[in-house]
Amino acid sequence: MRNCKSSAAYAKYGAGVSGADSQPAESAPNRPTRIAGPLAANYCRALQQLTSSTLPNPVIAAKIFLLCPDPIIPVCVSLQFHFASFAFGVCCLLRGFVFIFWTVSLVFLFLTSAMAAPRFLRPAGRLLQSRIASPIRPAFRVPACAPSVNYRRSYATESGSKEVTVRDALNEALAEELESNDKVFVMGEEVAQYNGAYKVTRGLLDRFGPKRVIDTPITEAGFTGLAVGAALAGLHPVCEFMTFNFAMQSIDQIINSAAKTHYMSGGIQPCNITFRGPNGFAAGVAAQHSQDYSAWYGAIPGLKVVAPYSAEDAKGLLKASIRDPNPVVFLENELLYGQAFPMSEAARKDDFVLPIGKAKIERPGKDLTIVTLSRCVGLSLDAAAQLKEKYGVDAEVINLRSVKPLDVETIIKSLKKTGRLMAVESGFPMYGVGAELLAVSMEYGFDYLTAPAVRVTGADVPTPYALGLENMSFPQPDTIVSQAAKLLRV
């Protein structure tokens, strides 16, 4: 955490020293005094009176959070000197001094406040520090989480691979489908003139025009209803949410209209629509922008749910989703948008499509099966590498790609080989994707289990805003390694 430097700042500016009467570390005679005589005496009295009262909490909080880890105390002291300057000027005026002398004194104090002797600054600094240190010191004790790498392997399966970001892969898939099918159009907040909140739709407006790439008002319930209606009329809309947290505003249209119409019409009325946008944990966007909705939509009959990891996943699965006659919830992750993955020459062709409902073995192994999705695939690959290095454990990592339909066959086939299963997801522990994977392992692979299946999930709390707490509330490679070691008893 970047605030870890603040402890050094406190040590430098008198941390642990209480009271305004404590002696400074350096003796006053060693430093020149810039203010002398009656002026200095009046100045010090004004400062002493001022520091006897507490500054408003918002002022202190603003200085802490805007300037950390820069030195806090000098800024607050400077603020107090300015107030002291004003107080001294008022005192002079009340004593009968002429206005011009008051003005000169005020300007003089402002100009010399930064050059005041340490014997004036340090007592005030210690007093301020003692007031603000105790409330914020616990925050500095939160440990910083080590950064992790999202992937450590070659992804492309053929020669001629090229590095492509997930963002560019999604953009390429949208452009190819818009080009090949006149019924396809894109709509959502800022998808046209602003090129999308995450620039996934960059350049599509210029290429296909405002009738195919449509900006909408900030009303998810309204434009989702329009998109579902267009799908029921035979078009193939791609409805973008700035985040799937905002899709809660349109849950009725997604579930009651899009997901159920095909069944309720006796198979007569399909609803070809793709709902796409970022989902799950991000970076510093707090509880209302970080929830993982994989399990929510995976529980709804009539919906297909896709969660890509790599650039190859993103392109192939998005094209398949747009072509699928069923409503598809396409769950991206904003932390993966800028990640570059090797992409094969075949995957970069216009006709590249991946089947929905088919998982991919990212890393073969024989000792443990790790089943995961979205960004947790990269975390699991890191954990698998650590398991191999520390314990010699050969873990197999399965990228689900699709939450619904679930590729039970690939999971059970791997479980039959390894005998142990671990599910890793970023969602909440209760009734999540991990719980479903454990149920599948019990129902279809119980005879192959040599140890109870386990899961690693997000914490059962709303996502914290603080970076340290946020990282601790989601799976990390170290957590996965620890749980795997317990499962394997190594």
Enzyme catalytic residues? 220, 289
Q: For residue 27, give both structure tokens.
A: 């003796």
